[in-house]
Amino acid sequence: MLDRLNQAMEHIEGRLDGHVEVSELARIAIMSEYHFRRLFSSLAGMPLSEYVRRRRLTVAGAEVLARERTLLEVAVRYGYSSGEAFARAFRAVHGVGPGEARRTGAALSSQPRLSFRLTVEGSSTMRYRIVEKEAFRVVGKKARVPLIYQGVNPHIAEHVRGIAPETMLRIAGLSDQDPEGVVAATVRVSDGFEEGSELDYYHAVVTGAAELPGDLDVLECPAGTWAVFENTGPFPQALQQMWADVAAQWIPSNPYEYRPGPEILRTRPSGSDPAQSDAQLWIPVTRTAG
């Protein structure tokens, strides 16, 4: 898989002065477009579109300083319809406009080319199982929140605090299948996976109930395959590390890829230590061909 990802990176380099088709990158990597975007963002720490933009403006910056083409020629070559649009994008990445950069020889920012490699660390084995699950519903209270990779997300904490106790009791009473009890379900709103990108967060339960209270938010989940991971450790660091390990280690090493759907997290206190939690993470996946 890593070899195919690196082939896709080479393809991007050859298309920086043209149009980069995600469908072609996914074909080279032998995976779905959704999985390619998700895996790239998880490994690179930025959306694919942002990486392509930064690389394109890195190469364009070198041409601006080289003075071999006019600024408009550089703008058109790298896909900008006007000098003004190019200048805005250039300044957003480099902190200075292309004209000023050419006049003063200003120092510019550079987005290095990405390549992916496997680091063998001899770390602990990941505990997981594969579950085939019939269609179900995630039912609870939803909020739009920013993605935060490290530490407690204050926006989620505020949302949970704002749910009335009697409402939480009604939600909890709807749980009728695995994962049992109140869970956290997240759905990514866009293809972006960078810090601050938006999520729909559900403080909810998993249920097959047909009759539901009208004041609750409902997410329909079709039948499909789920990879279920478990760990125990300090909250929230251990579960956040588990999320990262799924993308960086498990996905590249197993014949499964991400598919659209909510990621569902169930946490419970571990023993008598309130700082420790048992976490169960459900990731929607599909088996790859071959």
Do the domain assignments include residue 280? yes
Whether residues 257 and 147 fall in one domain: yes
Whole-number Å distance between alpha carbons of 156 and 239 = 16
Residues 45-65: pLDDT tens digits? Answer: 788 888 999 999 999 998 998
Helix axes 48-66, 2-13, angle to 10 degrees: 40
Show the low-confidence residues of the chain (pLDDT under 70): 117-126, 150, 191-196, 290
Write down the pTM of the prediction: 0.70
Do 38 and 158 lie in one domain? The reply is no
Q: How far is the C-alpha of 49 from the C-alpha of 29, rounded, in Å?
A: 17
Element (H, E) at 89: helix 83-94
Question: Alpha-carbon distance 201 to 212, whole Å?
Answer: 19
Determine the pLDDT at residue 192.
59
- What is the domain-level CATH number for residue 216? 3.20.80.10
Quote the DSSP letter at residue 15. Answer: T
Task: Check: CB of residue 2 under 8 Å from CB of residue 252.
Answer: yes
Say if strands 217-221 and 224-234 run parallel, antiparallel, or are unpaired.
Answer: unpaired
Q: 282 - beta bridge partners?
A: 228, 264
Number of domains in the chain: 2
* pLDDT score recorded for residue 126: 66
**pLDDT score, position 142:** 96
DSSP labels for 159-187?
HHHTS-HHHHHHHHTT--SSSPSSEEEEE
Over the range 211-248, which residues count as b (16 or more CB within 10 Å of their CB) and which as e?
eeeeebebbebeebbbbbbebebebbebbbebbebbbb
**Residue 189 corresponds to which tokens in the numbers above?**
């709103």
| Final residue of a structural domain among 63, 89, 104 | 104
Residue 271 forms part of a structural domain: yes
Q: Which domain holds residue 92?
A: 2-104
Assigned domain for 226 exists? yes
Q: Say if 64 falls within a structural domain.
A: yes
Look at residue 110 and tell me if it is in a domain: no
Q: What is the pLDDT of residue 123?
A: 46
The answer on 171 and 250 residing in a single domain is yes
The pLDDT, as a whole number, for residue 276 is: 83
Q: Is 206 strand, coil or helix?
A: strand
25 and 14 Cβ atoms separated by less than 8 Å: no
Residues 26 and 150 in one domain: no
Report CA torsion sign: 28, 32, 36, 42: negative
3-state helix, strand, coil in the chain (%, to 5): 40, 25, 35
* pLDDT for position 122: 42
